[in-house]
Amino acid sequence: MGGDFGPAPVIKGAIKATKKFKIPVTLVGDINQINKYLKKYRSQKNPLINIKHCNDYIKMEDSPVRAVRNKSDSSIIVSYNLIKDQICSSVVSTGNTGAVMVTGSLILKLMPGINRPAIATLIPKAGPFKHTVLLDSGANVDCRVEQLAQFALMGSAYAEIILDKKDPRVALLSNGSEESKGNDIIRAASTKLKSISNLNYVGFIEGKDIPQDKMDVIVCDGLIGNIVLKTMEGGVKLIFDSLKYLAKKTIRGKIGMLISKPVFKLLFKQKLDPASYGGAPLLGLNGISIVCHGSSNAKAVMNAIKLADRLASNNLEKKMLKSLSAEYNTFNTDLEDNVYNEFSSGFKKNKNKK
Amino acid sequence: MGGDFGPAPVIKGAIKATKKFKIPVTLVGDINQINKYLKKYRSQKNPLINIKHCNDYIKMEDSPVRAVRNKSDSSIIVSYNLIKDQICSSVVSTGNTGAVMVTGSLILKLMPGINRPAIATLIPKAGPFKHTVLLDSGANVDCRVEQLAQFALMGSAYAEIILDKKDPRVALLSNGSEESKGNDIIRAASTKLKSISNLNYVGFIEGKDIPQDKMDVIVCDGLIGNIVLKTMEGGVKLIFDSLKYLAKKTIRGKIGMLISKPVFKLLFKQKLDPASYGGAPLLGLNGISIVCHGSSNAKAVMNAIKLADRLASNNLEKKMLKSLSAEYNTFNTDLEDNVYNEFSSGFKKNKNKK
């Protein structure tokens, strides 16, 4: 209910997922609105679609913590309760990411050995290579050493499924490949990752290695992860905008670009279309949760549902628990009882500023 | 003497600078080697070239601090003494950046109100727009709030000259444009920058804004700056490698790319060729210092010399002192007496680890 474009792309995407992948979907939200769209898309009798009515939803501009307190009958809270009650296997949301994170952490609880959930994003590799998992891509601005280690273990388990690869190579993002690079936290995290025997840690990589086939998982804090993802986006736009501008200057340029158009289309489709990934899992909860961009289209929602189904049927949770189990007694998760406390204090801080 | 390819590209670049821009250059290094190359390039009688002989040079693999202590007759130390003695206006080096930074800080000393020097890199903007100044691009991994404020003031003075623009727009790099984004240091730096009246501070920008014309100067710590620059590089390579790979798959793709070749060449020349910038100034010293990539070619060296000359003749130092003067009593530069101390302790730490 709370995405940028309301329920339309979500319902359309869900219908696509039932038809294309035969995945059963429960739509959580206002039953009247849902029925309106199901009628519009001629899917009222789709046997794979269930509806779970609720009266409220969390808006993009709502404070996550306040919303979670006051909107218990909102679509995201009701959705997580469906996982908790083992009625559904996973949640897909295009709504307020902060609210998804806080609600998910409160209702499903964090896995043993996890301080904070992390968002794991797929980024394209150059040439014939497919993807790399980058985490955290924005959920946690400042991270301690053990959080980075948790990201490495969770990312490794996720990559095993999503990249279909045994023993994925895990790298730490730094400002150079030499051991002396990085700040104190990054260097200490490197020492920690070296000590974990069930992790295929390959050391530091630097920014220019990101699209190369040097690793399967990139670990960094959420501030850097967010900046990296958006800088990649910016770099791609730099090339396209500049090519467009320069090509217009000559007839040869215009013709060349016209003929090359299918190649660019293929590049966009294979490498750059965010809808082809659908969404990114919020790792670290006792349950599968996919966060989508607020402006996701139906294709993105469909692919996010496919991703959720794939992670559920490949036992992501069990794989993550196994990956974490050898290490979790070394992590001090008492530091933050739950994400709610931290969010709550963060919220108060911001409130006082105004 | 200490660049990746030895003195050849430096001498060739210096000759080009004397011919193309009539800039007098002093070559500092082993006189026999210098004469060998001057003879090879038929420039022994070039009236704009002087030679200052020295016996030693700092290698790429040398520890900066140890080298500075033990190699007093090295080319970089002798070069900085030529500025100190007012024989030359500026230093251009393709050598060990750490050594250039430590030596420069020791011999020229830091400007009043500066804790650490910063490297300011020019990055291309999309479409018809030219460049943005990004600093720090790698000299300082961890930065305090006042260092970020110093970067903003120094970057603003530099942008005024290099972008030929009054009152350049200064932005802080964060993980979103809202005031609540960033970590504690970034948010506190934003508050500080708002309070500086002679600074045109425009607030937070995010990664995808980097190639857009939203600002003239981007401020961040050196860890993030390094990661951003190399991620941009990686993003560009992602596009080119993938285009190359995809174009080969169809005849139309091959033909389209062949016809578009001049557009790509223009794109490289106008936007992406690092040699067109030449090098990046190390801001914050009492003197002008340009650091070049170790693998710089002659064109890069020529353009670095042109940059040094432009900054010297436009009084960069005076502009920076003026920019800093209104604020420097608010900066606590006692925290680090000089860059040497910090480097020295950093070096010891690394040594103990081994």
Best of A62, A122, A239 to disrupt the B interface (most B CBs within 10 Å) is A239
Contact assessment for residue B238 and residue B155, using Cβ atoms and an 8 Å cutoff: no
**A283 and A105 in contact (C-beta within 8 Å)?**
no
Q: Is residue B190 a contact partner of residue B172, using CB atoms and an 8 Å limit?
A: yes
> Do A124 and B244 make contact, defined as CB atoms within 8 angstroms?
no
For residues B287-316, give the mean pLDDT.
94
Give dist(CA B288, CA B290) in Å, integer. 7
Residue B179: list chain A partners with CB under 8 A.
Answer: 353
Between B277 and B41, residue with greater pLDDT: B41
User: Rounded to two decimals, what is the model's pTM?
Assistant: 0.89
* Stretch (H or E) spanning B343: helix B339-353
For an interface test with B, the pick among A190, A238, A347 (most B C-beta atoms closer than 10 Å) comes out as A238
Nearest one of B244, B261, B241, B262 to B253, comparing CA atoms: B244
Q: Which residue has the tokens 């040439």?
A: A127
From the list A211, A231, A239, which residue is nearest B228 (CB)?
A231
CA B33 to chain A, closest CA, distance in angstroms equals 32
pLDDT digits (tens, 9 = 90+) for B131-176: 999 999 988 988 999 999 999 999 999 999 999 999 999 999 999 8
b or e along A265-289 (b: 16 or more beta carbons within 10 Å of the residue's beta carbon)? ebbeeebbebbebbbbbbbbbbbbb
The answer to whether residues A2 and A60 touch, using CB atoms and an 8 Å cutoff, is yes
- Residue of B211, B242, B266 with shortest CB distance to A237: B211
Judging contacts by C-beta atoms under 8 Å, the chain B residues touching residue A210 are 231, 234-235
Whether the predicted pLDDT of B350 surpasses 60: no
Selecting from A226, A234, A247 the residue whose C-beta is nearest the C-beta of B175 gives A226
Q: How far, rounded to the nearest angstrom, does the alpha carbon of residue A81 sit from its chain's CA centroid?
A: 20
**Secondary structure element (H or E) that encloses residue A49, with its range:** strand A49-53
Whether residues B232 and A244 touch (CB distance < 8 A) is answered with: no
Contact assignment for B233 to A207 by CB distance below 8 Å: yes
User: 């070559």: which residue's tokens?
Assistant: B27
- Model confidence pLDDT, tens digit, residues B236-250: 888 888 888 888 999
Whether residue B233 and residue A263 make contact (CB cut-off 8 A), yes or no, is no
B291, β-bridge pairs: B93, B280
Beta strands in chain B (DSSP E): 25-29, 49-53, 90-93, 118-119, 121-124, 131-135, 169-173, 200-205, 217-219, 280-283, 288-291
Q: Give the whole-angstrom CA distance, residue A329 versus residue A337.
A: 15
Question: What's the CA gap between A168 and A200, in Å, rounded?
Answer: 6
Contact status, residue B196 vs residue B203, Cβ threshold 8 Å:
no
- Give chain A's residues under pLDDT 50: 337-354
- Would you place residue B333 in the very low, low, confident or very high pLDDT band (cuts 50, 70, 90)? low
Quick one: pLDDT at residue A341?
Answer: 47
**CB within 8 Å: B259 and A263:** no
What element of type H or E holds A243? helix A222-247
- Does the distance separating the beta carbons of B228 and A141 come in below 8 Å? no
- The interface predicted TM-score (ipTM) is 0.87
Sheet architecture: strand order including A90-93: A90-93, A288-291, A280-283, A118-119
How near does any CA of chain A get to the CA of B270, in Å? 9
Contact A227 B207 (CB under 8 A): yes
Cβ contact B211–A241 (<8 Å): yes
DSSP states along B184-215:
HHHHHHHHHHHT-TTSEEEEEE-GGGTTSTT-
pLDDT, tens digit (0-9, with 9 covering 90-100), for A297-334 = 999 999 999 999 999 999 999 999 988 887 877 776 65
Three-class secondary structure of residue A339 per DSSP:
helix
Q: Give the rounded percent of residues in chain B with a pLDDT score beyond 70.
A: 94
**CB–CB of A169/A131 below 8 Å?**
no
Mean pLDDT taken over chain B: 89
Query: pLDDT per residue over B179-212, tens digit each?
Result: 889 999 999 999 999 999 889 999 999 999 999 9
Pairwise CB contact (< 8 Å): A183 & B142:
yes
